[in-house]
Structure 1
Amino acid sequence: MNDPEIISRFEELDAGRILGDLDAGEMDEWEKLARDPRCQSDLSLELAAAALEAEFQDPDGVELPPGLLEELQKGTADFVVQKLSKEVEEKVVEMPLWQKVLSGKNTPWAIAAIFALLFVAQTFVSDPSTSTPGPTTIQVSPEEASKTLVAEGKDLIRTPFEGGGDYKGMSGEVVWSDERQEGYMFLTDLPVNDPESKQYQLWIVDPTRDEKPVDGGVFDIASAEGTTVIPIRNPLLIRDPKAFVITLEQPGGVVVSKQEVVVAAANS
C-alpha cells in the first residue's frame, strides 16, 4: 500500500479501536500500523470518546438506549474515515499532532456531533419525572426533643439544679435516660455569658467509669428571660450518673476542670 492507503487504513482501524469494534486480527493490524511514524491517532476523538464514557458512567448501571448507541457509533465512524482525493501529491508533509487536532477540518464537527448526541442521550437517562427524592433530614429543636424524651423515656432520672456562690439565684432541672443515652438541662435565671470570654460546661459524674467526670459539652446562655433548654452532649457511654455539675470555663471548654467556678450541681 502507498502512504495515503496506509494512513487511511490506520484511521479506519483507529476509529474501530476507540469504539471497541476490532476483532483480534484487526487489533494486531492496528498495533503494527501504530508503530509506523506515518500513522498517528486522532487525539480529539480520544478526548470526545472519554468525555462521553465519563458522562454515562453510572454506579447504578444506567445504559444508553440501543438505537442511540448505534447512531453514535455510525456518526463517529463517518467523521473518522476520511475520503482521500484520487490525486495525491508525491510528497506528503505531516503536521504535528497538536496542530492536526486544532486545525483538522472535520475535528470540530466530530466533537460537536458527539456532544450533540450526548445532550440527546442525557434526556433519556435523566428524566426528572422519574427521579426519586432523597431522604429529608428534619431538624428538631431541643425543646421538642426534650418533650419527646419526657413523654417516652422509661428510665428517666429527674433531679433539680442548685446554684452556688454568685449563681444561687438560678434554678433548673436535668432529665436523663441511660437507655437512650440522651438528656437535657432546663435552666432558668442563669446569667448570660460572653462566648468569647467564658462558656458554661457540663460535667457528668459516673462512678462506674472512673474518678474523672465525663464532659457533657459546652453551652451558652443567650437570654436571661425564660427557661433555656440545653441538650447534653456526652461523647462517652454513661451507665449510672450520680451528679451533674456546671462550671464556667474558657471558650471551647477544657479537658479537665479545675472547678474554680462551680455554677450549679444536681445530685441524682
Structure 2
Amino acid sequence: MINQELLKHFEELEAGRILGDLDAEELQQWESLSKDPSCAVDLSLELTAAAIEAELSHDQETELSDSLMKQLQEDISKFTVADDHAELNDADNIVKLSAWKRAVSTPQVPWAIAALFAILFVVNSLTQDGGLNTDQPIPAIALNPSPEEARDAILSNTKNLVELDFGGTDSYNKMTGKVVWSDELQEGYMTLSNLPVNDPSKKQYQLWIVDPTRDTKPVDGGVFDIPEGQSTAVIAINNPLVITNPKAFVITMEQPGGVVVSKQQDVVAIAKAS
C-alpha cells in the first residue's frame, strides 16, 4: 500500500475505533498502523465526538472518557513548534505547554480541551507548513489602545464619519483642533492643540454635543484635562446617550467634575457643521 492509501485506510480504521465498531482483526490493524510514523493519530474526530457528547449531556457534569483523556495526555507533547530554530531560548518559544498540561489533568473540561487542541492544531499546522514565520516578530495586539491609536483606527477603518474643525473663542484664539465622530460606532475623538493647561482641582474642560434629533439641550460628552507639557492632546468622547446626527461640538470650562447643564459662561471652542 502506498503512503496515501495507507493513510486513508488508517483514517477509516481510526474513525471506526472512535465509533466503537471495529472487529478484532480491524482493531489489530489499527494498533499496528498507529505505530507507523506516517500514520499520525488525528485527534480532531475524537475532539468532535467529545464535544457532541458534552452537548447531548450538558445538564449533567460531563467528563472525558478515560481512554480519550489518556490519549490527550500522551499526545500533548506532539503539539510543539517544530524545532527549526534551535537558537531560540525557552523564554522565546511561541507555544508554552505547562499551563495546558495542568488543564488536561482536570477531567471535567471537555469543551476547554476541545478548544485548546483546536488552537494547537492550527499553530502546529501553520508552523509545519511554513505558514508561520518564527523569524519575524509577531506584532502585539493592543488590548487597551491609546486615544491616538483608537483615533487612527477609526479614521482608517470607518466610513461615514463626521469630521469638523474646532475654532477657539476670543480667549482661546490660539487653539486649533479637529473632531471625528461615528454614528455607527457611537465613538469619537477630539485632537486639540494649544489648549491652555488646566488645574483639575479648580476647573475642567467639558464637551457638549448638539444633536437636533434629540432635543434642544446639548448632550454631555465628558470632562477632560490638558496636562502640563502636552501641546496636543487626543481626547476620547464619552457620551452617555446615543448620538445620531451631531451638528456641533462645544467645549466649555466648568467646575471640577463638570455640570449637568452648562451656563456657557466660559465657551472655549466650537466645531460645527456648515
Matched, 1:181 2:194: no
| TM-score, normalised with respect to structure 2 | 0.50
Name the structure 2 match of 1:231.
236
CA deviations 1:201-232 (Å, max 9, x no partner) are: 00000010000000000001013543210011
SS at match of 2:212: coil
Q: Aligned partners of 2:174, 2:222: CA distance in 1, in Å? A: 23
Aligned equivalent of 2:249, options 227, 233, 244: 244
CA deviations 1:96-135 (Å, max 9, x no partner) are: xxxxxxxxxxxxxxxxxxxxxxxxxxx95399xx796xxx
The 1:62/1:153 distance shift into structure 2, 3 A limit, reads same
Map 1:1-268; keep pairs closer than 5 Å: 61=61, 125=106, 138-268=143-273
Gaps of 5+ in 1: 1-58, 67-122
Gaps of 5+ in 2: 1-58, 67-103, 117-140
On the 8 A contact 1:217/1:232 being kept in 2, the answer is yes
The 1:245/1:202 distance shift into structure 2, 3 A limit, reads same
Name the structure 2 match of 1:9.
none
On the 8 A contact 2:168/2:174 being kept in 1, the answer is yes
- Percent of residue pairs bearing the same amino acid type: 57
Q: Aligned partners of 1:60, 1:187: CA distance in 2, in Å? A: 58
| TM-score, normalised with respect to structure 1 | 0.51
The 1:60/1:238 distance shift into structure 2, 3 A limit, reads farther
On the 8 A contact 2:179/2:190 being kept in 1, the answer is yes
Letter in 2 for 1:262: V
SS at match of 2:257: coil
Question: Larger relative CO (CA 8 A, sep 6+): 1 or 2?
Answer: 1
- How many residue pairs are counted as aligned between the two chains? 154
Q: CA deviation at 1:179?
A: 1.4
Q: Aligned partners of 2:201, 2:60: CA distance in 1, in Å? A: 49
Q: Aligned partners of 1:143, 1:137: CA distance in 2, in Å? A: 12
On the 8 A contact 1:189/1:224 being kept in 2, the answer is no
On the 8 A contact 2:195/2:231 being kept in 1, the answer is no
SS at match of 1:196: coil
The 1:124/1:149 distance shift into structure 2, 3 A limit, reads closer
CA deviations 1:138-169 (Å, max 9, x no partner) are: 11100000001111121111111011131111
CA RMSD of aligned residues (A): 3.2
SS at match of 1:125: coil
